[in-house]
Amino acid sequence: MKKELISICEIEENFDLKKYNTYKLNSTCDYFAKPKNVEEFKKLIEYIIKNNIKYFILGNGSNIILPVHYDGVVIYTRGLNNYEIRENYVYAECGVMINALAIKVTDMGYAGLDFATGIPGTIGGSVYMNAGCFGSDVSNILISAEVFDGEKVIELSNEELKYGYRTSMLKEHKEYTILSCKLKIEKGNKEELKALVTERTNKRIASQDLSHPSAGSVFRNPEGTSAGKLIDDLGLKGYSVNDAMVSFKHANFIINNKDANQEDVVKLIEEIKSKVKDEYDIDLILEQEIIK
Ligand SMILES: Cc1cc2nc3c(=O)[nH]c(=O)nc-3n(C[C@H](O)[C@H](O)[C@H](O)COP(=O)(O)OP(=O)(O)OC[C@H]3O[C@@H](n4cnc5c(N)ncnc54)[C@H](O)[C@@H]3O)c2cc1C
């Protein structure tokens, strides 16, 4: 298999993923593939699907809980980083960082992507989970996304992606890999946008734990309340399983104090869920994804 993969794109074997997930969890994989353009990406996926090889698409690793070892091919998308800014939309490949793109278009005086300035993920990961903040999300601006199913490229409309709160139909259709998307933008007031982004950045710095490795919010907010408040009210800040700990700054953040692995994070998640269920009879829903 290695020989075939190498003929398609750059491949590394027995790869250490600690630097490739924002939790900095200890994790390795059999193969790490780094396609540098859409053609290589499609060829690789076509080969992998045809040969029934286990694989996983990795963006910036900021919404996932990686296993100690992934026994398959991890396909890293950051090499697919072309974008074009047009008068009323942006075209971006899946490996473009959404926060960098948001800063770029906002600086140019376009509104639409401003909600995403602090989100440390790729376009692919953000389109997949409908990333959002400050009252907006990807579903508000997505015109269409190009996906690849191993044989053909399909253009999916916003409606077809069936967006909901931090979710899309792509979660149930793992056969679709996002290649690129088009996002709506519109001319706004440069100074006002600048002030808005500064205000939001300050809010993030004040409320989120940005000085420890994490993958952002662990749970979706239940109807009418916030997961962070429920966890905080139970006195769980600082509660830990080995090096995985509920952040003192933001109770809906789990941080890695040094050497946490998937087992530690998942055990902590289960304990939080069970305490919230016992106390409030609320089933917290995981926003992050556990990779097996
Ligand atoms: C400090 C911090 C703050 C955060 N703040 C926010 C926030 O305000 N709002 C928010 O919504 N999220 C937030 N997040 C979470 C995260 O940044 C977003 O969910 C982001 O969109 C994930 O993108 P990613 O590239 O890191 O995806 P990854 O974590 O790499 O992957 C997530 C999922 O997307 C899939 N995926 C990635 N690329 C593709 C592709 N090309 N095709 C198909 N599937 C793909 C992966 O297979 C995986 O299932 C935060 C995270 C951190 C660490």
Å from CA of 129 to ligand 1 middle: 7
Active-site option among 78, 146, 166, 220: 166
Question: Is 91 inside a domain boundary?
Answer: yes
Nearest-atom number in ligand 1 for the CA of 214 is 53
Token digits of residue 226: 């916030």
Token digits of residue 120: 């440390």
Same-domain check for residues 96 and 187: yes
Å from CA of 287 to ligand 1 middle: 10
Average model confidence (pLDDT) across the chain? 96
Does residue 217 carry a catalytic annotation? yes
Q: What is the arithmetic mean of pLDDT over 75-103?
A: 97
Nearest-atom number in ligand 1 for the CA of 23 is 53
pLDDT bucket at 1, cuts 50 / 70 / 90: confident
Q: Tens of pLDDT along 247-258?
A: 999 999 999 999
Ligand 1 proximity of 247 Cβ (cutoff 6 Å) = no
Question: Is 218 inside a domain boundary?
Answer: no
DSSP states along 173-232: -TT-EEEEEEEE-EE--HHHHHHHHHHHHHHHHHHS--SS---SBSBPPPTTS-HHHHHH
Final residue in a domain of this structure, among 142, 173, 191 = 191
Same-domain check for residues 98 and 166: yes
Rounded Cα distance between 37 and 79, Å, is: 6
Ligand 1 proximity of 95 Cβ (cutoff 6 Å) = no
Does residue 287 carry a catalytic annotation? yes
Q: Domain of residue 110: give its range.
A: 83-191
Ligand 1 proximity of 221 Cβ (cutoff 6 Å) = no
Contacts of 278 by beta carbon, 8 Å cutoff, 6+ apart: none
Final residue in a domain of this structure, among 76, 109, 138 = 76
Question: Is 86 a residue whose pLDDT tops 90?
Answer: yes
